[in-house]
Structure 1
Amino acid sequence: MMKLVRSLATAFVSLTIACGVHAQAKPQVVLLATGGTIAGAGATAANSATYQAAKVPVDKLIAGVPELAQVAQVRGEQVFQIASESFTNEHLLTLGKRVAALVKQPDVDGIVITHGTDTLEETAYFLNLTVHTDKPVVVVGSMRPSTALSADGVLNLLNAVTVAAARDSRAKGVLVVMNDEIHTGRDVSKSINIRTEAFKSPWGALGMVVEGKGYWFRAPAKRHTMNSEFDIEKISALPQVDIAYGYGNLNDIAYRAFAAKGAKALIHAGTGNGSVAAPVVPALRELRSQGVQIIRSARVVGGGFVLRNAEQPDDQYDWVVAHDLNPQKARILAMVALAHGADSKALQRMFLEY
């Protein structure tokens, strides 16, 4: 009888220890809050498009989704509390350096960044280029404030933590999770401003999150994170890069003004295949001779890319084409590349590789 009691006691202790180990083994995810609609509040539940962004602090975001505790051990940090259209280069650097520091910690398995949707794609791509880690880094936002009927932020946040906590999310670069879809931060862009399915990738999503599980269908093809030659820890400042928009009856005023104010590179958001209107070509050639990098992107939405030496003799003019990157993402890559000392030849290689 005593042997049986001892055996049962031993088994109970072992089970208790095993349960404790299992509980401790739950993934540890850090939630970095920066503001945006996901932290916004409207006057009434009917306000889904009219509201004040960046009002809810990170502790309330976490407390508002108790299901997070079933997925991971989540702790939060309030990095900023701003609407994302006010993100500056300094904000990018501060956030990037904090992410880079956290992913080095053994008690961090993944990072989730809550972010306003207006410039979410730019921040995601910046981190994708500059943070060296194979740990999941997931950027998430919402199109409706938490106070709205059918608010999307709660499920978006739960899905983001689910992806950040999963081992099969590793080594896929910085991800964006919105509307049940998993996108690469390199491709995804905000395509509409009032619907929950606002974020799309021209080459398709990487996967989906359905009822607490991620499903993957493809992987990023371009260089990122651990395979990147860029390093956030080596960037102390980002050079000025500006975007000038192409349209009918275009003139060179914006290009010259940006250069006069110190732009080191100009992204031409051209029509079609990054076309440059004839009256603007002389100004861009002149600015290039003065050391300003000229990068042809396209204002078109939904896919396609700018072909080198099509529309313009890029080799002759020493211009760069942005490949399939839209103007705002071309600006991010140009800043990072110039911060690492890239010339026009290196820039062109980088636009094809990243």
Structure 2
Amino acid sequence: MGEGVQPAAGERPTAVLVAVRPEDRGDGTGPGTETSLTELRRLADTDGLTVAEAVVQSRPRPDPATYLGSGKVDELAAVAERAGADVVIADGELSPGQVRNLEERVGVRVVDRTALILDIFAEHARTSEGRVQVELAQIAYQLPRLRSDGRSMSRVGGGRMAGGAGMGVRGPGEMRLETQRRRLRDRATRLRRSAAEVARRRERTRGRRARNRVPSVALTGYTNAGKSALLNRLTGADAQVQDVLFATLDPTVRRISTGRLTYTVTDTVGFVRHLPHQLVDAFRSTLEEVTRSDLALHVVDAAAPDALDQITTVHGVLHEIGAGDVPELLVLNKIDIAPPEHVDALCRAYPAAVPVSARTGQGIEALRAALAARLASW
């Protein structure tokens, strides 16, 4: 870790955000800048951090050595000192060299968006399957980033970020470093075997549903769009609902019977911009619930100012996991708090979308009817 000030017991660590924006106008207000930083702030808050300030630089591409230009690094160091920062979080993925150089110049620990998301996933995984998948993703991220002192960049939030806890084993020298790498690779091999067994069990369950001709619906969408709340409203389930990012990681499957139609609904992990590829790879078996489903129920936060961008992000991940051809029903959630003009614009862009409020129940009967119509061929 860097040489930053440690927070007092019970206090939330302080973070400073940093970003490079090719399109930024130089004042942190360029297109896309505020949206991305707002999301990074929410990620930091979810991980138990208090964001003090943000430093944004306009440049065509990040500096290969220090992410920011030299002058901006000096500004970042001054901001971090003034804020009493425990950590600096970059809104992008940093190379090991960039992390090392920034820490030397700024004097506090530096992590990137990927490490932050991995830490949130580690905190929120509840089942053994979820924990296996998260640890696999962490190892994939850590291996190329181990340093000669045995440190890695994972397990970084909720006080862990400033405290420097992690999976790395401290010890000097290249021999110690290679020993740590070997241990991580061996651990990953064992975890992959465990994940493969879980995937086989999941495949057998899917096979039974298919033989019994029970159609499957997979809830998908951006994180915090309200998927779990909608699952509860549709099924009477008790899935965890929190106003934080990635509140639910582990898939929840519920059965719905309406008249002659019976189908299953599965809640899946939410997405964000730049979802780490390590997580996509590790959660591939879970995400296959969408790939193997008969219908993807794509839940959108209609109150989000960047709802259209969120839809595009989700579609990109679905294509990446091979679910781009799964039939989709778009659901515009949170219409009870969304500005009417936002809902109208989304309905014009997606005429087949169903506006609902999982919180109040508004539009749920229309959604049930739309689901029945789409699954009528079963």
Determine if the TM-score, normalized by the shorter chain, exceeds 0.5.
no
Q: TM-score, normalised by structure 2?
A: 0.26
- More helix per residue: 1 or 2? 2
Q: Which of the two has higher C-alpha Rg? A: 1
